[in-house]
Amino acid sequence: MFMLGIDLSCNELTRGIPRPMGNLIMLISLNLSHNNLVGPIPLEFSNLKQIESLDLSYNNLNGKIHPKLVDIVTLSVFTVAHDNLSGKTPGYILQFGTFDNGSYEGNLLLCGRPLSKVCNEIEP
């Protein structure tokens, strides 16, 4: 079987993550860390059914993390640390129950387990 790893870390990439990246279903690892990416994590990433390592850290990604991301049960490495994400973490279940706060640290507006910051259920 064909397996693919993409490492575009430290490339001064700007703009959003191209949504079609979520169609690269043969992806085993993706490293987009240390760029200047903005915008949300594409919902399409939940289609990556073989991915084992997803590193989106040290960008400026913003918006909420879609709870459907927990559908990726093949992940053993996941980090969105030092971005600008907000709202709840995707859920502390399945593989995502194995990631500690280091996966999410450095996002001031993010809350929920495994972070110690509790989400305020009442949205303003």
What are the backbone dihedrals phi and psi of residue 99, each rounded to the nearest 5 degrees, phi first?
-95, 135
Taking CB atoms within 8 Å and a gap of at least 24, the contacts of 93-97 are 94/70, 95/70, 96/69, 96/70
Q: Which two tokens stand for residue 15?
A: 């703009």
Q: Please report which residue ranges of 1-124 form alpha helices under DSSP H.
A: none
Q: Judged by CB under 6 A, does residue 62 bind ligand NAG?
A: yes
Q: Judged by CB under 6 A, does residue 84 bind ligand NAG?
A: yes
To the nearest whole angstrom, how small is the minimum distance from the Cβ of residue 1 to ligand NAG?
A: 21
Q: Which is nearer to ligand NAG, 9 or 95 (CB)?
A: 9
- Selected from 17, 27, 33, 52, the binder of ligand NAG by CB under 6 A is 33
Q: Judged by CB under 6 A, does residue 55 bind ligand NAG?
A: yes
What CA–CA distance (Å, rounded) separates 25 from 57?
21
Beta bridge partners of 5: 29
Q: Which is nearer to ligand NAG, 64 or 68 (CB)?
A: 64
Q: Provide the binding-site residues for ligand NAG, judged by CB under 6 A.
A: 9-10, 31, 33-34, 53, 55, 60, 62, 77, 84, 86, 109
